[in-house]
Amino acid sequence: MDLPFQPGILDPVPAAGRYLSFRIRLPAALREGLDELRGRTFGSEAVVGVGPAVVRSLGCEVEGLRELPALAGPGVCSPSTPGALWVWLRGDEPGELFLRGRELAACLAPAFELVEEVGAFRHGPGRDLSGYEDGTENPTGPAAVEAAFVSGSGPGRDGSSFVAVQRWVHDFGRLAALREEELDRIVGRRRSDNEELSDAPATAHVVRTAQEDFDPPAFLLRRSMPWVESEAGGLVFVAFGHSLDSFVAQLRRMCGLDDGTTDALFGFTRPVTGSAYWCPPLAGSGRLDFTALGL
């Protein structure tokens, strides 16, 4: 069955990205703001997610949509920073995305106000700024569709997706101080050839997050992109799922909430934001289907 999902979710990570997060500014204008979005066609050049606050304000419910939990484990934490609307602009060139972002933010006012805007980019063949290839164990083909999209829930829901978004800030001084072998043991893969370490410790990131090791298996479609601003930088972690459950299960394990063992990744990076959104399906001709929101 062909699911009517937003194509930018499944398409490969673009050369340039821009993440826009909005808050509700004028609740009375919400329907107008969402109508503005519904009037546009969505191909691969943008992905839209609606936050729990918007759904609540409209008096609706999207089953499974909730704020991300704020988590704290031994020496680590992951914040919850709710957002009302999220747009991932995708393209080839940062200047074009900047201008598209301006235009969109102007059209979404006064319902929505832009609160965070992060420019992002593909690094080499798809590496994190630590140098490690990111996305290797992503499901592909039909498995990617199964992992990322709702199905069997009827029109208005099928083809929708849930996305978890976190901005991570790297400690580049720490990264530079670590020896290559130490870093490989943190990630659980070799930076040089992306091979998985056969003797990776329990703290290694790929051991913590091994998707088949969860019950039920916790598959995610990760579409993260590096970001930099002045001397700061890191990863905008973006993971799509047919629910938020896989992401939360993985994050809990990274934070040591399953067995007290935290993910060694926290040794050089930390999340400073964390929000969840529902990405509506398409109704046809590339327009967003907001029937689940009563629109």
Nearer residue to ligand HEM within complex by CB, 74 or 110: 74
Cβ atoms 257, 74 nearer than 8 A? no
Distance (Å, whole) CA 80 – CA 2: 34
The DSSP letter of residue 199 is T
**Stretch of 32-40, 61-69, 126-134, 146-154 lying at the interface with ligand HEM (CB under 6 A):** 126-134
Burial of 92 (0-12, 13-18, 19+ CB in 10 A): exposed
3-state SS class at 286: coil
247 binds ligand HEM per the rule CB under 6 A: yes
Nearer residue to ligand HEM within complex by CB, 93 or 171: 171
The DSSP letter of residue 280 is -
250 binds ligand HEM per the rule CB under 6 A: yes
Restricting to residues 162-221, which ones interact with ligand HEM according to CB under 6 A? 166, 168, 187, 189, 205-206, 209-211, 220
For the CB of residue 89, give the shortest distance to ligand HEM in the complex, in Å. Answer: 21
Listing DSSP states for 37-89 in one string gives: HHTS--STTEEEEE-HHHHHHTT---TT--PPPPEEETTEEE-----SEEEEE
132 binds ligand HEM per the rule CB under 6 A: yes
Q: Could you tell me whether strands 232-241 and 287-288 are parallel, antiparallel, or unpaired per DSSP bridges? A: unpaired
Nearer residue to ligand HEM within complex by CB, 38 or 189: 189
Which residue in 6, 160, 269, 275 binds ligand HEM (CB under 6 A)? 269
Closest of 111, 80, 114 to residue 100, by C-alpha: 114
Nearer residue to ligand HEM within complex by CB, 78 or 288: 78
**Stretch of 65-73, 103-111, 132-140, 174-182 lying at the interface with ligand HEM (CB under 6 A):** 132-140
CA–CA–CA angle 11, 14, 15 (5° rounding): 165
Nearer residue to ligand HEM within complex by CB, 94 or 135: 135
Closest of 210, 206, 208, 276 to residue 237, by C-alpha: 276
Which residue in 235, 264, 276, 292 binds ligand HEM (CB under 6 A)? 235
Nearer residue to ligand HEM within complex by CB, 13 or 58: 13
Distance (Å, whole) CA 216 – CA 146: 14
Instruction: Give the interface size with ligand HEM as a residue count (CB under 6 A).
Output: 26
Q: Under the rule (CB under 6 A), what is the footprint of ligand HEM?
A: 128, 130, 132-137, 166, 168, 187, 189, 205-206, 209-211, 220, 235, 237, 247, 250-251, 254, 265, 269
